[in-house]
């Protein structure tokens, strides 16, 4: 019995021993496996828990106007924090006056809600609790960052002072609304809009890298090391936009959209010879009722253009030799029928036969549609008409650099897939049953202004780095002309008659000091031809043209969608915007004025010579010098009067101003007259118009006694 018990105990001991040995072997094997077989894997994981390589944001390049003004730039901001338990901080700091000073500066200039004493207690608490990350200032400006880094201890930098400065960038647009959608934006890896998106590869730069270590609470601190790679800043993109012309276009468009309570508006201004976009404005409404650039309709919205497309129909007819400007067409008193579908002119009239020029100038739907249907009404001829539209590049996108341009749509003749019907040709002739973007249509009008030469619209001139040109984008000119010189000249005459002829739809807004040419358009949107009437979902008013008419410099298109008040037609809604843009561009661009002094200088007649002009002597002398006018100088002192001494000569005489007498200010500008009289203690009232003082109520030489002098200007 005792023997059996002993054997049982031994068995159990052996079992326990075997288990212990097995566990030991397993532990040993796992230790070897972790350290040797999988050692690199686990060591890297351990390091990742405390040290990691963090990307450093690169400064994004600027987007500039043609003259270097900033459209978009990256402004640096800084997240500033502090490691109070950095081993590099001198331990004597905590008992020195520098600690008191740091608390004072932080409480005074960074966080004034705390007293210096409270700030000192707070900093000491962070130190004693072992904190390695104390937020000092988030989103600090460069000026604020420079101030904070000058504080005691912080001025020693990251490693001796424990200061942690993380730089980041915010994209700023100094001009706000101006060209907002055209400039665009980038979001993540998939959303690229406008110039920002199209040129992101140039603008974004290259990220750097920085080793950082974790200090608890999910906070990471830069680690001093030689492997840090500084980010490479992005390159600058120089656009063709002119900020002054952009402002003119945007302001005029905003006023129109607000005045007419329209859904949206587009205005594009382009250089005729080069295709450079000088202004591209898109205006719509935000959900909270504010006017803003919400969508780039200039390239992203293709609509039925309406009557502005009649220019393409007329160019096709003229190029094929089917009509002449003085040929006649029956307007049928403004109403006609195509396959049981009624077509009317925009305004009722009783006209029958008129010239082709007259029909185009008054924008007759009946006249233009009849010309096209009569000459292209068979299948072969319809193919020829569609072919002409292709010759004008109206079936192709412009290829503008920024993304989002939609394809134009033009039906194929007699195509069942395109829904060709008996009314397709006459309706296409006047701008329906086809769609096109404003920029695509402007490209066509620009080619007409450019004597038939089509140039590709573009928005970016070059890429720069630190002012040095790295890449230049040339003007792209399409080979050949879109039509013959003869046909182009005839269409130019048609566009001019729209403005200059009394029957033209733009005649009421012709300009006095220059000439422009173009075509009004009014399109019905979302219309349905029902049995009894046409149901219309709104209107689109437009005007496309160029100026000056004799030697075009700029082409321009304006489109206002769904105006609800103060008119719906192109001549009443879109044309005023075009004219305001043209007026202000003419007024601010000296290159648009004809040169007047190319011939020999002509001597002034005596009546044209300055006479009795008075004022500050040095001002008069400066003006005479700038104008290149000779004169005899007989004046000294501050005040003088210019007299016509002979028929061909001028004399500058002294204007005497006595100390206690009312001075003679006749012939002076208002500024000089006010200066002299008010310095004598006299009160001044004036009226009568503009220009020089022609009369004064108190006779010169009268003793000064605080009187009121009335001046009449003229």
Q: 45 in a domain, yes or no?
A: no
Residue 189 sits in a domain of what CATH number? Answer: 3.90.1310.10
Write down the pLDDT at residue 187.
81
Query: Bigger pLDDT: 86 or 351?
Result: 351
pLDDT (tens digit, 9 = 90+) per residue, 314-343? 999 999 999 999 999 999 999 999 988 999
- Which of 635, 655, 675 is at the close of a domain? 655
Q: 539 in a domain, yes or no?
A: yes
Q: 42 in a domain, yes or no?
A: no
Same domain, residue pair 172 and 293:
no
pLDDT (tens digit, 9 = 90+) per residue, 532-556? 666 678 999 999 999 999 999 999 9
Same domain, residue pair 565 and 644:
no
pLDDT band at 173 (very low <50, low <70, confident <90, very high): confident
Same domain, residue pair 395 and 494:
yes
Same domain, residue pair 200 and 261:
no
- Which of 621, 638, 655 is at the close of a domain? 655
Write down the pLDDT at residue 210.
75
Cβ(281)–Cβ(266) below 8 Å: yes
Min mean pLDDT across 136-140, 223-227, 499-503, 579-583 is at: 223-227
Q: 503 in a domain, yes or no?
A: yes
CA distance 535 to 526: 8
- Residue 177 pLDDT > 80: no
pLDDT band at 213 (very low <50, low <70, confident <90, very high): low
pLDDT band at 36 (very low <50, low <70, confident <90, very high): low
**How would DSSP label each residue in 539-579?**
EEEEEEEEESSSS--EEEEEEEES--SS--SHHHHTHHHHH
Beta-bridge partner residues of 263: none
Min mean pLDDT across 17-21, 340-344, 526-530, 579-583 is at: 526-530
Q: 252 in a domain, yes or no?
A: yes
> Peptide bond preceding 548: is omega within 30 degrees of 0, i.e. cis?
yes
Q: Average pLDDT, stretch 580-589?
A: 92
Write down the pLDDT at residue 47.
46
Question: 604 burial class (0-12, 13-18, 19+ CB within 10 angstroms)?
Answer: middle
Same domain, residue pair 649 and 664:
no
Q: 408 in a domain, yes or no?
A: yes
Residue 362 sits in a domain of what CATH number? Answer: 3.40.710.10
Long-range contacts at 8-11 (CB < 8 A, ≥ 24 apart): none
At a CB cut-off of 8 Å and minimum separation 6, what does 330 contact? 352, 353, 370
Instruction: Find the DSSP H helices in 561-628.
Output: 570-573, 575-588, 617-627
Min mean pLDDT across 53-57, 94-98, 424-428, 605-609 is at: 605-609
Q: What is the mean pLDDT of the chain?
A: 88
Q: Average pLDDT, stretch 576-589?
A: 93
- Residue 251 pLDDT > 50: yes
Write down the pLDDT at residue 506.
97
CA contacts within 13 A on the Cβ side of 233: 15
Query: Bigger pLDDT: 557 or 220?
Result: 557
CA contacts within 13 A on the Cβ side of 492: 24
Same domain, residue pair 505 and 378:
yes
At a CB cut-off of 8 Å and minimum separation 6, what does 413 contact? 379, 382, 383, 385, 386, 420, 425
Query: Bigger pLDDT: 134 or 226?
Result: 134
Same domain, residue pair 584 and 614:
no
Same domain, residue pair 183 and 96:
yes
Q: Average pLDDT, stretch 667-681?
A: 89
- The residue ranges of DSSP E strands in 323-445, in sequence order, are 328-330, 335-338, 341-344, 353-355, 409-410, 434-435
Same domain, residue pair 214 and 329:
no
Same domain, residue pair 165 and 179:
yes
Min mean pLDDT across 105-119, 121-135, 171-185, 641-655 is at: 641-655
Cα 144 to chain centroid distance, Å, stands at 31
- Residue 46 pLDDT > 90: no
CA distance 304 to 428: 9
Write down the pLDDT at residue 601.
57
Same domain, residue pair 214 and 253:
no
Q: Average pLDDT, stretch 15-27?
A: 76
Q: Domain range spanning residue 308? A: 245-592
Strongest mean pLDDT among 359-373, 576-590, 671-685? 359-373
- Which of 640, 655, 670 is at the close of a domain? 655
- Residue 226 pLDDT > 60: no
- Residue 647 pLDDT > 70: no
- Residue 707 pLDDT > 70: yes
Residue 680 sits in a domain of what CATH number? Answer: 3.30.10.20
Question: 167 burial class (0-12, 13-18, 19+ CB within 10 angstroms)?
Answer: middle
- Residue 219 pLDDT > 70: no
Write down the pLDDT at residue 326.
95
CA distance 429 to 149: 70
Structural domains of the chain, count: 5
Q: 49 in a domain, yes or no?
A: no
Same domain, residue pair 555 and 606:
no
- The residue ranges of DSSP E strands in 577-660, in sequence order, are 613-616, 632-634, 639-646, 649-654
Structure tokens at 674: 């006010």
pLDDT (tens digit, 9 = 90+) per residue, 280-298? 999 999 888 898 888 999 9
Q: 597 in a domain, yes or no?
A: no
């Amino acid at each position: 019995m005792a023997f059996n018990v002993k054997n049982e105990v031994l068995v159990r001991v052996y079992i326990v021993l075997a288990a212990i040995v097995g566990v030991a072997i397993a532990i040993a094997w796992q230790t070897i496996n972790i350290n040797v077989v999988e050692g690199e894997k686990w060591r890297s994981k351990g390091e990742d828990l405390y040290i990691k390589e963090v990307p450093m944001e690169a400064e994004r390049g600027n987007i500039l106007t043609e003259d270097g003004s900033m459209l978009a730039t990256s402004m640096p901001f800084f997240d500033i924090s502090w490691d109070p338990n950095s081993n590099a901080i001198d331990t004597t700091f905590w008992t020195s006056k520098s600690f008191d000073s740091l608390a004072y500066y932080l409480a005074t200039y960074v966080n004034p809600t705390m007293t210096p004493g409270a700030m000192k207690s707070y900093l000491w608490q962070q130190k004693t609790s072992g904190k390695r990350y104390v937020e000092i200032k988030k989103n600090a400006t460069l000026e604020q960052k420079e101030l904070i880094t000058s504080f005691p201890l912080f001025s020693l930098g990251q490693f001796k002072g424990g200061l942690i400065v993380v730089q980041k960038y915010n994209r700023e647009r100094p001009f706000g609304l101006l060209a907002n959608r055209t400039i665009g934006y980038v979001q993540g890896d998939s959303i690229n809009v406008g110039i920002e998106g199209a040129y992101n590869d140039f603008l974004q730069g290259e990220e750097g890298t920085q080793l950082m270590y974790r200090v608890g609470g999910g906070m990471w601190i830069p680690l001093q090391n030689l492997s840090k790679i500084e980010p490479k800043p992005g390159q600058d993109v120089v656009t063709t936009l002119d900020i002054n012309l952009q402002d003119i276009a945007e302001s005029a468009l905003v006023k129109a959209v607000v005045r007419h309570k329209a859904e949206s508006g587009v205005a594009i201004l382009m250089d005729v010879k080069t295709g450079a976009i000088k202004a591209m404005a898109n205006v719509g409404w935000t959900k909270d009722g504010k006017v803003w650039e919400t969508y780039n309709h200039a390239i992203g919205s293709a609509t039925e253009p309406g009557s502005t497309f009649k220019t393409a129909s007329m160019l096709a007819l003229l190029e094929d030799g089917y009509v002449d400007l003085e040929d006649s067409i029956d307007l049928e008193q403004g109403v006609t029928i195509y396959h049981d579908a009624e077509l009317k002119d925009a305004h009722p009239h009783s006209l029958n036969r008129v010239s082709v020029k007259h029909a185009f100038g008054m924008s007759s739907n009946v006249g233009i549609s009849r010309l096209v249907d009569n000459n292209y009404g068979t299948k072969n001829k319809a193919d020829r008409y569609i072919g002409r539209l292709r010759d004008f590049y109206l079936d192709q996108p412009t290829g503008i650099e920024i993304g989002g341009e939609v394809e134009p749509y033009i039906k194929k003749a007699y195509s069942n897939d395109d829904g060709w019907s008996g009314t397709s040709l006459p309706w296409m002739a006047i701008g329906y049953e086809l769609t096109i973007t404003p920029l695509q249509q402007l490209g066509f009008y620009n080619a007409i202004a450019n004597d038939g030469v089509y140039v590709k619209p573009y928005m970016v001139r070059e890429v720069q780095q630190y002012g040095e040109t790295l890449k230049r984008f040339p003007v792209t000119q399409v080979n050949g002309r879109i039509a013959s010189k003869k046909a182009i000249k005839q269409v130019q005459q048609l566009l001019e008659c729209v403005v200059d002829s009394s029957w033209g739809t733009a005649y009421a807004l012709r300009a006095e000091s220059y000439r422009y040419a173009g075509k009004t358009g009014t399109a019905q949107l979302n219309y349905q031809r029902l049995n009894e009437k046409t149901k219309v979902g709104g209107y689109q008013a437009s005007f496309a043209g160029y100026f000056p008419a004799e030697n075009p410099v700029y082409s321009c298109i304006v489109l206002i969608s769904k105006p609800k008040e103060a008119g719906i037609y192109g001549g009443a809604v879109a044309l005023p915007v075009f004219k305001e843009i043209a007026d202000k561009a003419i007024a601010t661009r000296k290159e648009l004025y004809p040169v007047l002094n190319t011939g020999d200088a002509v001597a002034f007649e005596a009546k044209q010579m300055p006479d009795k002009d008075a004022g500050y002597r040095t001002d008069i002398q400066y003006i005479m010098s700038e104008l290149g006018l000779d004169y005899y100088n007989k004046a000294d002192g501050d005040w003088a009067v210019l007299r016509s001494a002979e028929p061909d000569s001028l004399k500058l005489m002294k204007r005497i101003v006595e100390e206690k007498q009312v001075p003679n200010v006749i012939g002076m500008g208002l500024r000089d007259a006010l200066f002299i009289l008010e310095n004598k203690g006299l009160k001044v009232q004036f009226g009568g118009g503009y220009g020089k003082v022609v009369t004064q109520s108190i006779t010169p030489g009268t003793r000064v006694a605080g009187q009121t002098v009335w001046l009449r200007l003229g």
